[in-house]
Amino acid sequence: MEPALSLGFDQLSARFRRLTGIDLNQYKGRQLERRLQSLLRRHNLADYTALSLRLERDPAFLQEFKDFLTINVSEFFRNPEKFRELQERVLPELLKARPRLRIWSAGCSIGAEIYSVAMILDEVSPGRGHVLLATDIDRASLDKARLAVYQEQELKTLPPHLRDRWFRPVNGGWQVDRRLAERVEFKNHNMLEDPMPADMDLILCRNVVIYFTDEAKDRLYRRFFNSLRPGGYLFTGGTETIFQAREIGFRLISPCFYRREPAG
C-alpha cells in the first residue's frame, strides 16, 4: 500500500476486514485512495480513523461503503459479440466433453450474467440440468439476484426475443421466469479468501478484478486455474488481460477466453 494511505489506514483495513471479510490491501493503492478520499468528502469525515469508527457504529453506512468499494455493475449479454462466441464456440466444445456442465459466475453482482448464460444454455442444450453457481461478496446484490426483478433500463442489452420468452412484467419492472431463475444457485463468497468450487467447466469473472493489485490478480487467476477441470475455460472482461497466462497454465484462445489445457 502506498505511503499516502498509511496514516490510519491499517486500523481502517483491520476493522473493515473484521466486519466484512474484505481485505482493502488487495486493492490498488492509488485508485483506492481516490475512492476513499471521495467518500470522506461526501460524508464530511476528517480522516480514516473517523471513517473506521463510522463503519463500526453505523450498519447502513457499512453497507454503503461496501457498495461504494465493490463495483456492482452487471448487464445482460455485456459485450454481445463475446456471448455469441460463448454460444457458438465455447459451450459447444465443452458440451462435447460433458453433457451436463458446471458453470460458475464469480462476482456475479445482481445476476444478469448468470441468467444470460442460462438463457444461452436453454438454446444450445435444453433440459440437461446444468449446474449454475453464482457468487458475490455483497449480500445486497445477491438478494436482488435471487429476487430476479429488473428495471426497464437494466434490460437494455437484452435481445427482445429473450425478454419475451423469459421475463414477465411485474409492478416496477420485469421478473425472470421462475423456470430459469430456479436453475441458478446464489451464494455469498469471497473469491480471494474462501475455498473455491472444484471441477468447473466454465468460470466467468468479468470486470471484477480491475481494482485489485497485481499480486491479488495473480493469486486469483491461479485459484481459478485450479478450480477448472482440464479443458475448462475462464471468461474474463475485455480489459482484463492475464499477462502471466502461460506461466499459470492457461492458453489464450481469443480475447477474454482462456483455456486450461487438457491433461496429456
Nearest to 117 by CA among 129, 99, 104, 136: 104
Residue 89 lies in a domain: yes
Q: In this structure, are 173 and 249 located in the same domain?
A: yes
Per-residue pLDDT tens digits for 113-162: 999 999 999 999 998 999 999 999 888 899 999 999 999 989 999 999 99
Query: Is residue 263 predicted with pLDDT exceeding 80?
Result: no
* Higher-pLDDT residue of 219, 25: 219
Q: Does residue 5 have a pLDDT over 70?
A: no
Same domain, 87 and 58: no
CATH number assigned to the domain comprising residue 256 = 3.40.50.150
- The single residue of 17, 35, 89, 219 carrying the catalytic annotation is 35
Examine the domain organization and report whether 34 and 153 are in the same domain. Answer: no
69-90 pLDDT, tens digit each: 766 667 899 999 999 999 999 9
Nine-digit cell at 118? Answer: 442460462
Task: Tell me, yes or no, if 179 is annotated catalytic.
Answer: no
Q: Is 35 annotated in the active site?
A: yes
Residue 126's φ and ψ, nearest 5 degrees, are -65, 145
The answer to whether the CB of 148 falls within 8 A of the CB of 74 is no
Given a contact cutoff of 8 angstroms between Cβ atoms, the answer to whether 24 and 33 are in contact is: no
pLDDT of 189 reads: 95
Neighbour-count burial of 140, counting CB atoms closer than 10 A to its CB (0-12 exposed, 13-18 middle, 19+ buried): middle
Instruction: Give the number of domains in the chain.
Output: 2
- Residue 67: per-residue pLDDT: 74
Residue 75 lies in a domain: no
Does residue 74 sit within a domain?
no
**Parent domain of 60:** 3-69
pLDDT at residue 4 in the model = 43
Indicate if 109 and 150 belong to the same structural domain: yes
Q: Which of 22, 37, 69 is the last residue of a domain?
A: 69
| Together in a domain, 87 and 20 | no
